Amino acid sequence: MSIIPLNEQEIRYQVSQIKELPSLPQAFEKLIEIIRSEIDSPGELESIISYDPSLVAKLVMVGNSAWYGYGGRVNTLSKAINVIGLYQVKAICICALIMNLLVSGHPISAVYREMLWKHSFVTSRILTEMTKKRPWLDRDEASILGLLHDLGWIVMAAHFKDQFTAIFETAAKRNIPPWYVDMQYGLTHTQIGKYLASRWAFPEVLKAAIEFHHFPEKSKTFKTEVRLIYLANVLSHSHEFPELVNDEVTICHCRELYVCEEEWQEYQEKVELIWYEVDELWNLLK
């Protein structure tokens, strides 16, 4: 399949045709409010999630999974939250609701939906691991940055299907990262993500992460956060593109963030376990 180039004017026009952010479910609005205000109350989180029976069922199912060893004994939402943990519950809810919101009326193929969901979740998990040694970056904020950094790919898969499919097919044939391909044809997932994030008035740090996570040096603000997203993204893709893990650009960003060789190696060793856990989570939630 050939790639039909789109220029910036065409991108802006087509993104403008995507409806304004729909009225979100009350549960989602309150969940965003809790994350932004750094409220960490299991009781309040329970009252929010209880508005969405589908999320309740999924969380109870996860709580009863083999991961936690409570098979059959998690029969309420409150127990599920206590077993899974606040951070993981928030991440699961955000990822599920955002995906459902963006693809409403524009279904993404099962293969690409799984690929995008897993990559976002893995990147988020890696990023939160990195915050353990960087307490100045809030864990919940890091989680959201990881989950939404590839917003542009999600939108492209739903609204620019032909270009999205052609880019990924071309990348697979050449065995190169797909973002190398979309840069060659004028249509980039970072541009699309940036336009939509601006249209929806996302926080500035999230806009920067979406636009510059492949080129942190081009970001004029929030360079530290964007560099962390870059590194987490590289680790998430390390099985497909291992050459990126220790290339000159990656090591340069490690130095800028004072990520020593030992720490970088630790993250590489954790990636396989994180991917295993996310694979299991996907199998439970899909």
Per-residue pLDDT tens digits for 266-280: 999 999 999 998 898
Residues 145 and 94: their CA atoms lie apart, in Å, by 11
CB 76 within 8 A of CB 244: no
Tokens linked to 96: 């599920």
Architecture (CATH level 2) of domain 1-19+108-286: Orthogonal Bundle (1.10)
Identify the CA nearest to 144 among candidates 195, 192, 197: 197
pLDDT tens track for 180-237: 998 887 678 998 888 888 877 778 999 999 999 999 999 999 999 999 999 999 999 9
CB 127 within 8 A of CB 224: no
Range of weakest confidence among 38-52, 139-153, 199-213: 38-52
What pLDDT is recorded for position 104? 63
Tokens linked to 172: 């697979």
Q: What is the mean pLDDT of the chain?
A: 83
Range of weakest confidence among 3-7, 58-62, 84-88: 3-7
Q: Is the pLDDT of residue 21 over 50?
A: no
**Torsion angle of C-alpha atoms 236, 242, 248, 249, degrees rounded to 10:** -30
Residues 236 and 267: their CA atoms lie apart, in Å, by 10
What pLDDT is recorded for position 53? 79
Residue 282's CB is within 10 A of a number of other CB atoms, namely: 13
Residue 170's CB is within 10 A of a number of other CB atoms, namely: 19
3-state secondary structure at position 241 = coil
Residue listed under structure tokens 């890696």: 126
For residue 29, which phi and psi values (nearest 5 degrees)?
Answer: -60, -45
Q: What is the mean pLDDT of residues 140-147?
A: 84
User: pTM higher than 0.85 for the full model?
Assistant: no
Q: Is the pLDDT of residue 5 over 90?
A: no
Q: Is the pLDDT of residue 18 over 80?
A: no
Tokens linked to 87: 């951070």
pLDDT tens track for 70-106: 777 888 888 888 888 887 888 787 777 666 665 666 6
What pLDDT is recorded for position 216? 96
CATH 1.10.3210.10 domain locations along the chain: 1-19+108-286
